[in-house]
Amino acid sequence: MPTNPVLVVHGGAWAMPDDIVDAHLIGVRNAAAAGWRVLERGGSSLDAVEEAVVIMEDDETFDAGRGSFLNRDGKVQMDALIMDGGTLRAGGVGCVERIANPVRAARKILSESPHVYFVGEGAERFAAEHGVPLCRNEDLIIPRESERLREYLARGEDHPEDIFAPAISHDTVGAVALDRDGNIAAATSTGGTLAKAPGRLGDSSLIGCGCYANNDSAAASTTGWGEPIMKLVLAKWAADRVESGSLPEWVAQEAMNYLKQRVNGHGGMILLDAQGRFGISHNTPRMAWAIRTTQRQDAGIDRN
Ligand code: GLY
């Protein structure tokens, strides 16, 4: 019997100021609509999460694709991962600078490579050889982010912890989906943290940290300060608890408590199992999210 599809997306967890709330809500709703179009016509969860994430990579509101944070050198440097819960196939790219849609490159790795992970120039070469267009790094830089970096660097190195405060944007984007065949998938894409050291890789593209999918447990995508999330391998931590019988709604909340208590981390998570049960949680003041099911179409941003 076909499963009722479900799609959940997020667009970053932090203390978003009021004036950018609407843009975030519009962005996650657009992403959910794109993913839902795939699921509605019987498409795969893998295609759905890819299409949802592409919408947010293309939307300058988010820290992914064009509009990403700049690293210390003033360049956009992005990471992405996509994973199929049915086969456990995965594709990831790290530190790419010339791909407007890193999730498309990640998908090509999943579908057309025996490998799982490519970084830097090798990832860009693989992408180009497999039909993903390359762009100039300058094409991904917008004035808002040049100004943000300039202001941050002008403040000096006195407060390096500032870049990890929840008040600073962590607009990593992600999606999890369940399709009619009962398969789940997840994808996450990011420009990383503001003024990061060139070559720094965050949690988003690491299997089990920023993204994970396994039909036996759950699909997860995280957002927030990457280093603490990596230390806890948080997406896999959550999936394991779902596999042990806990409800995704409870596990997502527990993951945020664990992140805060164990390593003083902050962020958010979307979590979905192959029965369509899901959790949406963040320990930051706000996280943009949207959901589509056959029964429900919803979006939100504030912590309850
Ligand atoms: N969560 C995104 C990053 O830390 O790179």
Mind listing the pLDDT tens digit for each residue in 92-142? Answer: 999 999 999 999 999 999 999 999 999 999 999 999 999 999 999 999 999
Distance 225 CA to ligand 1 centre (A): 5
Instruction: Provide the 3-class DSSP secondary structure of residue 112.
Output: helix
Distance 234 CA to ligand 1 centre (A): 13
The Cβ-side half-sphere exposure at 131, using a 13 Å CA radius, reads: 6
Confidence of residue 1 (pLDDT cuts 50, 70, 90): confident
Q: What is the pLDDT of residue 46?
A: 98
What mean pLDDT do residues 176-201 have? 97
pTM of the complete model: 0.96
CA–CA gap between residue 115 and residue 160 (Å, rounded)? 36
Strand 219-224 and strand 211-213: pairing?
antiparallel
Tokens 């999210």: give the residue.
Answer: 289
End-to-end CA distance of the chain: 36
Q: What is the pLDDT of residue 169?
A: 65
Q: What is the pLDDT of residue 2?
A: 82
Whether the per-residue pLDDT at 160 is higher than 90: the answer is no
Whether the per-residue pLDDT at 158 is higher than 60: the answer is no
What mean pLDDT do residues 197-218 have? 97
| Burial class of 144 by CB neighbour count within 10 A (0 to 12, 13 to 18, 19+) | exposed
Residues with CB under 6 A from ligand 1: 170, 172, 190, 192-193, 202-204, 210, 223-226
Cβ atoms of residues 254 and 262 within 8 Å: no
Q: What is the pLDDT of residue 155?
A: 84
**Set 172, 190, 193, 284: catalytic member:** 172
Dump pLDDT digits (tens) for 129-155.
999 999 999 999 999 999 999 998 998
Fold for the domain defined by 6-301: Glutamine Phosphoribosylpyrophosphate, subunit 1, domain 1 (3.60.20)
Mutate to test the pocket of ligand 1, among 76, 229, 232 (most ligand atoms within 8 A of CB): 229
CA–CA gap between residue 209 and residue 225 (Å, rounded)? 11
Q: What is the largest CA-CA distance in the chain?
A: 60
CA–CA gap between residue 110 and residue 90 (Å, rounded)? 5
Mutate to test the pocket of ligand 1, among 14, 69, 209, 225 (most ligand atoms within 8 A of CB): 225
Residue 224 backbone phi and psi in degrees, to 5: 130, -160
Q: What is the pLDDT of residue 254?
A: 98
What mean pLDDT do residues 219-225 have? 96
Cβ atoms of residues 203 and 38 within 8 Å: no
* Residue of the CA atom closest to atom 4 of ligand 1: 226
CA–CA gap between residue 251 and residue 121 (Å, rounded)? 38
Q: 193 an active-site residue? A: no
Mean pLDDT, all residues of the chain:
94
> Token pair of 103, please?
């999730």
Mutate to test the pocket of ligand 1, among 96, 169, 190, 200 (most ligand atoms within 8 A of CB): 190
What are the boundaries of each domain within the chain? 6-301
What mean pLDDT do residues 49-59 have? 98
Cβ atoms of residues 188 and 222 within 8 Å: yes
What is the b/e burial string over 62-86, where b = at least 16 CB atoms within 10 angstroms of the residue's CB? bbbbbbbbbbeebbbbbbbbbbbbb
Confidence of residue 159 (pLDDT cuts 50, 70, 90): low
* Residue whose C-alpha is closest to residue 24's, from 36, 35, 16, 32: 16
> Token pair of 83, please?
């994973």
Distance 89 CA to ligand 1 centre (A): 22
What mean pLDDT do residues 41-57 have? 98
Atom of ligand 1 nearest to the CA of 210: 1
CA–CA gap between residue 9 and residue 174 (Å, rounded)? 6
Distance 95 CA to ligand 1 centre (A): 12
Confidence of residue 302 (pLDDT cuts 50, 70, 90): confident
Confidence of residue 168 (pLDDT cuts 50, 70, 90): low
CA–CA gap between residue 241 and residue 249 (Å, rounded)? 11
What is the b/e burial string over 180-197, where b = at least 16 CB atoms within 10 angstroms of the residue's CB? bebbbbbbbbbbbbbbbe
Distance 157 CA to ligand 1 centre (A): 20
CA–CA gap between residue 8 and residue 164 (Å, rounded)? 25
Q: What is the pLDDT of residue 35?
A: 98
Confidence of residue 298 (pLDDT cuts 50, 70, 90): very high
Whether the per-residue pLDDT at 295 is higher than 90: the answer is yes
